[in-house]
């Protein structure tokens, strides 16, 4: 039987099998700029970089271990990383990092990510028949840099912890109009050191057009302190509080025009945008590939669409949809915990596995989005890609109707032919879901957003009302 998994409305899709098989830990080492925001960035230590690619122990290595000893094998090392400088080598078997006993790759990654620049790490390993401990002075991850923009690493305080914010600006003179970027669901860092991600291409493109941009790292992600992004406490309202802290700091920067600050929300970020703007006014909002209908209704729609695009047999599809509806009704509508759902229906496991805390998904399902948009009296640009198989194309004209019903003329609808959910070029939904084609960033999205933002932020003509 073919199983279809729904990844929800997610800009970052995680494949746990790939994570177990080969993980490049953290990123490259280096140094870079820091700045000061509502809280000093110097108070927020840079996350560390071990520079190890690790894989599970092969059977031959396991056979040489005592039964109670576990570890991971070093597959490769990154030049400039802390581990390579400490003479850790490919083929070494790491059994402990400080007091943490390494049992698998995923746990090793989690522990390594907790290291900060300047920390001392004692790495216990086996090399051939010898046991040894390597003392590692953990180096910082590098920072994003660009030749044609200033990149500032700042921090804000939210929920009693510091969050990393990454700001791009034409320079530090200004004042410039500014954009708070609200990313999609998931717990991946928003940094892109080589500036190759679609999000970084969009944001740096906007900065080259004369706009300041800000990203707020989620709790426990990247450099940010706080609880894990995947913890139940890291719910929708907690995400909104983090973005609000960023937005309020952004308005205070001397190189930002506080009267011309906008929100740009992608995917789930387009759902969160009116929640943020309802608490802190902005000049306008841009939402891209988002959701307007109730989440539970959207969920079943996207599940069916994705299954059909994967050519699931119709009889199997109907059986699957009945189970998905049952499982998610219990989780999202009845608000049971995943453990409670699985106790009664263990077959629900793969159907309620989201890339975000279940509490976030439940809060999303509780929202009346028409009510949230009714509160927003600012112009809104609604962009969607015709090849987006994750969000529903039909939601975007519906969202425009919602907004215009309460605030006539406030919504601008802008479809982009041949763009998918991930802001990449794709001739069709089928091409996008199959990951075929050129898979390049679609620059039309930058051009459309830039033109609309410039129109909204332009000074009013003399004598205009």
Reduced to 3 states (helix: H, G, I; strand: E, B; else coil), residue 83 is: helix
**Mean pLDDT of all residues in 19-43:** 38
Spatial distance between the Cα atoms of 251 and 179, rounded to a whole number of angstroms: 10
**Mean pLDDT of all residues in 262-272:** 98
N- to C-terminal Cα distance for the chain?
Answer: 64
Topology of domain 150-294+367-457, CATH: Rossmann fold (3.40.50)
Contact in structure between 138 and 146 (CB atoms under 8 Å):
no
pLDDT digits (tens, 9 = 90+) for 125-173: 999 889 999 999 999 988 999 999 999 999 999 999 999 999 999 998 9
Spatial distance between the Cα atoms of 265 and 357, rounded to a whole number of angstroms: 19
Q: Please state the CATH superfamily assignment of the domain spanning residues 16-30+48-140 in this structure.
A: PDZ domain (2.30.42.10)
Residue 2: the pLDDT is: 32
Spatial distance between the Cα atoms of 216 and 171, rounded to a whole number of angstroms: 20
Residue 129: the pLDDT is: 81
* 150-294+367-457 matches 16-30+48-140 in CATH topology: no
By the 10 Å C-beta count (0-12 exposed, 13-18 middle, 19+ buried), 43 is classed as exposed
Residue 151: Cβ within 10 Å count: 18
- The torsion of the CA quartet 441, 447, 448, 453, rounded to 10 degrees, works out to 120
Residue 31: the pLDDT is: 32
Statement: residue 296 has pLDDT above 70: yes
**Mean pLDDT of all residues in 368-389:** 98
Contact in structure between 61 and 30 (CB atoms under 8 Å):
no
Spatial distance between the Cα atoms of 143 and 137, rounded to a whole number of angstroms: 19
The confidence band for 3, taking pLDDT boundaries of 50, 70 and 90, is very low
Spatial distance between the Cα atoms of 254 and 328, rounded to a whole number of angstroms: 47
Statement: residue 326 has pLDDT above 80: yes
Q: Work out the mean pLDDT of the chain and round it to a whole number.
A: 89
> Which of the residue ranges 38-52, 112-126, 376-390 has the most confident prediction, judged by mean pLDDT?
376-390
pLDDT digits (tens, 9 = 90+) for 329-367: 999 999 999 999 999 999 999 999 999 999 999 999 999
**Mean pLDDT of all residues in 192-204:** 96
**Mean pLDDT of all residues in 100-124:** 92
Residue 43: the pLDDT is: 79
The confidence band for 68, taking pLDDT boundaries of 50, 70 and 90, is confident
Statement: residue 182 has pLDDT above 50: yes
Give just the sign of the alpha carbon dihedral 200, 223, 83, 70.
Answer: negative
By the 10 Å C-beta count (0-12 exposed, 13-18 middle, 19+ buried), 160 is classed as exposed
**Tokens 């983090």 label which residue?**
242
The confidence band for 464, taking pLDDT boundaries of 50, 70 and 90, is very low
Statement: residue 37 has pLDDT above 90: no
Residue 180: the pLDDT is: 99
Instruction: Kindly report the backbone phi and psi dihedral angles of residue 9, in degrees, each rounded to the nearest multiple of 5, phi listed first.
Output: -95, 85
Of 106-110, 238-242, 314-318, 420-424, the poorest mean pLDDT is in 106-110
Domain chopping of the chain, boundaries: 16-30+48-140, 150-294+367-457, 295-365
- DSSP secondary structure, 172-221, as one string: SS--EEEEEEE--BS------TTS-SHHHHHHHHHHHTT-EEEEEPPTTS
**Mean pLDDT of all residues in 42-59:** 88
């Amino acid at each position: 039987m073919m199983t279809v998994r729904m990844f929800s409305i997610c800009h970052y899709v995680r494949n746990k099998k790939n994570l177990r098989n080969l993980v490049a830990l953290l990123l490259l080492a280096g140094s870079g700029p820091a700045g000061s925001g509502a809280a000093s960035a110097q108070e927020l230590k840079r996350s560390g970089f071990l520079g190890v690619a690790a894989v599970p122990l092969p059977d031959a290595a396991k056979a040489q271990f005592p039964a109670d000893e576990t570890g991971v094998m070093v597959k490769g090392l990154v030049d400039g990383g802390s581990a390579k400088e400490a003479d850790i080598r490919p083929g070494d078997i790491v059994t402990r990092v400080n007091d943490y006993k390494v049992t698998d790759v995923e746990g090793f990654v989690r522990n390594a990510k907790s290291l900060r620049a300047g920390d001392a790490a004692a790495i216990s390993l086996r090399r051939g028949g010898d046991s040894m401990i390597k003392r590692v002075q953990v180096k910082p991850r590098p920072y994003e840099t660009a030749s044609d923009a200033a990149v500032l690493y700042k921090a804000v305080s939210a929920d009693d912890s510091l969050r990393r914010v990454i700001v791009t600006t034409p320079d530090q003179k200004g004042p410039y109009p500014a954009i708070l970027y609200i990313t999609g669901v998931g717990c991946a860092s928003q940094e892109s050191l080589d500036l190759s991600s679609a999000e970084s291409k969009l944001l740096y493109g906007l900065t080259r057009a004369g706009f300041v941009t800000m990203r707020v790292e989620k709790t426990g992600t990247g450099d940010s302190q706080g609880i894990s992004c995947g913890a139940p406490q890291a719910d929708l309202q907690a995400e909104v509080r983090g973005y609000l802290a960023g937005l309020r700091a952004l308005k205070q920067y001397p190189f930002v025009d506080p009267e011309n600050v906008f929100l740009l929300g992608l995917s789930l970020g387009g759902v969160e945008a009116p929640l943020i703007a309802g608490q802190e006014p902005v000049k306008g909002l841009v939402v891209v590939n988002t959701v307007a209908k109730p989440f539970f209704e959207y969920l079943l729609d996207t599940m069916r669409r994705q299954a059909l695009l994967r050519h699931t047999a119709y009889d199997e599809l109907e059986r699957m949809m009945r189970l998905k509806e049952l499982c998610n009704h219990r989780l999202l509508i009845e608000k049971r915990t995943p453990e409670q759902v699985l106790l009664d229906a263990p077959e629900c496991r793969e159907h309620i596995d989201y890339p975000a805390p279940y509490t976030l998904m439940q809060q999303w399902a509780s929202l009346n989005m028409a009510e949230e948009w009714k509160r927003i009296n600012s112009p809104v640009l609604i962009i969607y890609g015709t090849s987006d198989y994750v969000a529903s194309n039909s939601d975007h004209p519906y969202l425009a109707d919602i907004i215009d019903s309460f605030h006539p003329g406030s919504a601008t609808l802008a479809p982009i032919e041949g763009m998918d959910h991930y802001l990449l070029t794709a001739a069709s939904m089928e091409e996008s879901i199959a990951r075929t084609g050129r898979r390049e960033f679609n620059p039309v999205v930058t051009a459309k957003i830039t033109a609309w933002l410039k129109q909204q932020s332009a000074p009013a003509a003399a004598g205009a009302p």
